[in-house]
Every structure is written in C-alpha cells, then in structure tokens.
C-alpha cells in the first residue's frame, strides 16, 4: 500500500511545512518534525479528510509517527 504512504507523507509535508526528505516512516511528528499538539490534531483531521475515515480520539492519541498513521489507515480505511 505504498499509495497510502505517499499520500500520508504529502499531507505531512504540506501541513507541517517540512522538507520531504525528513518525512521518513520512523519520524515522530512532535520530536522530529516540529509539530505541536494543535498540529497533530490538524494532521489527524487531514488524514480523515483524505482517506474518508473517522479516527476516534483514543486512536488519534496513539498516532505519533508517520508509520503509525500509515498503519492505522491501512487497517481501518477503505
């Protein structure tokens, strides 16, 4: 599902205004990509929008890295 990974990375680049090269799957939104708590809320909303899914608050709290987001979407979206 590389398509999901690409789309997630694109959203992260756009919303956090960071270099594409820094958006690896291991990257943590807060520790590595300079996001704050409001940015992470907005990111989750953008994922919901892009993939047409709902990410409940308790699941959203566990999405800390790019990989977490890709995994959640692969398992729950579509």
* Residue 36 is a catalytic residue: yes
Binding test (CB under 8 A) with other proteins, winner from 8, 11, 16, 23:
16
**Please, how many CA atoms are within 13 Å of residue 61, restricted to the half-sphere of its CB?**
2
Which stretch, 4-12, 23-31, 41-49, 62-70, contacts other proteins (CB under 8 A)? 41-49
Size of the site for other proteins (CB under 8 A): 8
Q: Which is nearer to other proteins, 32 or 42 (CB)?
A: 42
Report the residue count for the chain. 78
Catalytic residue among 3, 31, 32, 36: 36
Site membership for other proteins, residue 38 (CB under 8 A): yes
DSSP annotation string for the chain: -HHHHHHHHHHHHHHHT--GGG--TT-BTTTTT---HHHHHHHHHHHHHHHT----HHHHTT--BHHHHHHHHHHH--
Give the binding site for other proteins (CB under 8 A): 15-17, 38, 41-42, 45, 54
């Amino acid at each position: 599902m590389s398509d999901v990974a690409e789309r997630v990375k694109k959203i992260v680049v756009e919303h956090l205004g960071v270099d594409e090269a820094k958006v690896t799957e291991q990257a943590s939104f807060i520790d590595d990509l300079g996001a704050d708590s409001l940015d992470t809320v907005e990111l989750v909303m953008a994922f919901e929008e892009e993939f047409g899914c709902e990410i409940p608050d308790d699941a959203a709290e566990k999405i800390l890295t790019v990989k977490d987001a890709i995994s959640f979407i692969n398992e729950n979206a579509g």
